[in-house]
Amino acid sequence: MPQMMNRSEPEMIAAILAGEIQLFHELIRPYERSVYIMALSYMKNEADAEDVAQEATVRAFRKLSSFRAESKFSTWLISITLNEARTRLRRQVLVRMESLEQLLDEDTRLSPALLRDWREIPSEAIERDEVRKLIQQAVDQLPDMYREVFLLRDVEEFSINEAAEALKISIPSVKVRLHRARSMLQKQLAPQLRLVNRPPKRKLLPWL
């Protein structure tokens, strides 16, 4: 086991592709939290996030032979996670639309719950205190294109290059989207945080 743990990522990937598939769990272990957080940021509930994280892991294993060392393995894994989350959301939206169409065809009164925008469902999985709850809700309400950049850069601490590669966008786009995400959060949170007796911790929002 010690020899196994001392292997570098390229060595572990080579060994997995050569048949030592038991190493795959050790390979992804350092990135499980990041994968789950990115999945949760899209799916908004723990069960769906766990499903996305699991499916992304399976896909990464199946596609491992296509991984190229030009990028970090973590960046490649996050990219797979984002793609899986987006695909899952598209399927959910289609199902909801089909369900609504069926109700309309049946001339049934629509329930307001069915019409609620799924993007507005708050995430309660990582709340810690009143300030953290406000921040989490504000991040959840960001449009996808801004939220994913904010999470990669300010939460997961990806470099600009890594974020651009994971999202398959240009470096200037990462910078612009991150700036807009921070501005949107600042505009929304500043009035709310003034109402909180204790001030926000700088480590949570150092750019406010």
Domain boundaries, given as residue ranges, for the chain = 2-91, 100-197
Question: What is the secondary structure of 143-156 as a DSSP string?
Answer: -HHHHHHHIIIIIS
Query: Among residues 181, 178, 180, 205, which one has the least CA distance to residue 192?
Result: 205
Q: Does 143 or 3 have the greater pLDDT score?
A: 143
pLDDT number for residue 23: 92
Q: What is the pTM of this model?
A: 0.60
Separation CA 86–CA 92 (nearest Å) = 10
From 31-35, 65-69, 104-108, 145-149, the region with the lowest mean pLDDT: 104-108
The amino acid at residue 76 is: W
Q: Is the pLDDT of residue 88 over 50?
A: yes
Tell me: the pLDDT tens digits for 36-85? 998 988 888 888 889 999 999 999 999 999 998 778 899 999 999 998 98
Q: Please report the sign of the dihedral spanned by the C-alpha atoms of residue 74, residue 75, residue 78, residue 84.
A: negative
Q: Give 1's DSSP letter.
A: -
pLDDT number for residue 105: 44
- Tell me if the domain spanning 100-197 has CATH number 3.40.50.150: no
Query: Among residues 144, 198, 187, 152, which one has the least CA distance to residue 171?
Result: 152
Provide, rounded to the nearest whole percent, the portion of the chain with pLDDT above 70: 70
Fold match between 2-91 and 100-197? no
Instruction: Note the CATH number of domain 2-91.
Output: 1.10.1740.10
Query: Among residues 179, 185, 127, which one has the least CA distance to residue 153?
Result: 179
Report residue 1 as tokens. 């086991």
pLDDT number for residue 196: 55
Question: What is the secondary structure of 69-130 as a DSSP string?
Answer: TTS-HHHHHHHHHHHHHHHHHHHHHHHHHHHHHHHHHTTPPPPHHHHS-GGGPPP-TT--SH
Burial label, 152 (beta-carbon count in 10 A; 0-12, 13-18, 19+): buried
Average pLDDT over residues 165-193: 86
Are 10 and 69 a contacting pair, CB within 8 Å?
Answer: yes
Tell me: the pLDDT tens digits for 118-165? 233 333 333 345 667 778 888 888 898 899 999 898 888 889 999 999
Average pLDDT over residues 180-205: 68
Q: Is the pLDDT of residue 171 over 50?
A: yes
Average pLDDT over residues 166-181: 90
Average pLDDT over residues 177-185: 90
pLDDT number for residue 5: 55
Instruction: Specify the residue for token string 């990464």.
Output: 60
Long-range interactions of 149-152: CB distance < 8 A, separation 24+: 149/174, 149/177, 149/178, 149/181, 150/178, 150/181, 150/182, 150/185, 151/37, 151/38, 151/41, 152/38, 152/78
